[in-house]
């Protein structure tokens, strides 16, 4: 019964050109023959897929592709369908796709590492220091604070020019270091931050230490001193209570490590 109706016969049925008797007989068989119904559904799918009538070669090609897809998904057992080889092709295809995606991710990651050198990371991570609303500062500190707020960074160095670093308070060191960064001079900012860091170490205090860690890390990045920058970033990221804990990502840390190694 499977070959009683060929494709042309079913095409004639779908086109409505069978005689009433032929149509009635075909529809009667259609109700009791699930394989015939499946073939008719396949033919409808084929016609809808190519949106043309009468192109038998194209129909056969699409039909074979449909049959193969059904076989590989194990949802359909065709009648008189040719044996298909290499059922592993889908696994092979997805394996290649996964490998391609992995390569794209790897190249993207390497591109990020290569693109983000110290100065680039500095530009991406830099944020201006914001003065906290505190009281009890000396007159000199208040002058530097006022100049900093107004963006008069060069005047800050003029005001403090006659004073030695040892005479500067922790707040003055922090303000002058950040003023130098605002003037895009990492080399000028470094001594102020280092002095403040050394004072905390020697005295066992942590005055503005979170700020020192963050802006020293940025300064080292700007200067290309990757090992020192890496140490600060690790310190910041491993301390959940650090004020700047979320300012550097794991990827930023890896990028800096990459620069150290290569």
Q: Quickly state the pLDDT bin for 52 (edges 50, 70, 90).
A: very low
Residue of 205, 204, 134, 230 lying closest to 175 (CA atoms): 134
* Distance separating alpha carbons of residues 210 and 191, to the nearest angstrom: 17
Buried-exposed string 195-234: b where 16+ CB fall within 10 A, e elsewhere: bbbebbeeeeeeebbebbbbbbbbbbbbbebbeebbbbbe
pLDDT in the model for residue 43: 74
pLDDT surpassing 80 at residue 97: no
Q: What is the pLDDT of residues 157-211, one digit of tens each?
A: 999 988 888 889 999 999 999 999 999 999 999 999 999 999 999 999 999 999 9
The predicted-structure confidence for 8-40, as pLDDT tens digits, reads as follows 888 888 888 889 998 899 889 888 888 888 888
**pTM of the complete model:** 0.59
Which conformational region is residue 126 in: left (phi greater than 0), alpha (psi within -120 to 50 degrees), or beta? beta
Res 7: pLDDT: 76
Contact status, residue 35 vs residue 2, Cβ threshold 8 Å: yes
Tokens of 149: 């707020």
Q: What is the pLDDT of residue 4?
A: 74
Between CA 27 and CA 33 the distance in angstroms is: 10
Q: Would you state the pLDDT for residue 100?
A: 62
Boundaries of every domain in the chain? 7-72, 118-261
For the chain, percent of residues with pLDDT exceeding 70: 69
Mean pLDDT of 142-171: 91
For 118-261, which CATH class? mainly alpha
pLDDT score of 214: 98
Q: Residue 176 half-sphere exposure, CB side, CA atoms within 13 Å?
A: 28
- 81 pLDDT band, cuts 50/70/90, is very low
Residues whose CB falls within 8 Å of the CB of residue 257, separated by 6 or more in sequence, listed in order: 230
């Amino acid at each position: 019964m499977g070959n009683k109706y060929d494709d042309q016969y079913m095409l004639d049925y779908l086109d409505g050109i069978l005689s009433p008797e032929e149509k009635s007989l075909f529809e009667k068989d259609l109700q009791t023959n699930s394989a015939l119904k499946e073939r008719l559904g396949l033919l409808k799918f084929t016609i809808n897929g190519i949106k043309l009538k009468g192109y038998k070669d194209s129909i056969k090609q699409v039909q074979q592709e449909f049959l193969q897809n059904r076989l590989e998904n194990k949802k359909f057992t065709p009648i008189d369908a040719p044996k298909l080889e290499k059922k592993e092709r889908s696994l092979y295809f997805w394996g290649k796709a996964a490998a391609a995606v992995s390569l794209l991710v790897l190249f993207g990651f390497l591109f990020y590492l290569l693109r983000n050198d110290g100065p680039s990371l500095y530009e991406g991570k830099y944020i201006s220091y914001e003065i906290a609303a505190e009281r009890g500062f000396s007159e000199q500190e208040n002058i530097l604070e006022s100049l900093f707020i107004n963006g008069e960074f060069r005047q800050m160095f003029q005001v403090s020019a006659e004073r030695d670093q040892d005479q500067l308070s922790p707040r003055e060191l922090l303000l002058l270091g950040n003023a130098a960064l605002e003037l895009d001079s990492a080399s000028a900012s470094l001594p102020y931050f280092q002095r403040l860091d050394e004072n905390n170490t020697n005295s066992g205090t942590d005055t503005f230490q979170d700020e020192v860690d963050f802006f020293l890390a940025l300064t080292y990045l700007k200067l290309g001193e990757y090992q020192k920058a890496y140490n600060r970033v690790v310190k910041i990221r491993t301390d959940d209570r650090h004020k700047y804990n979320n300012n550097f990502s794991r990827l930023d840390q890896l990028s800096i490590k990459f620069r150290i190694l290569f």
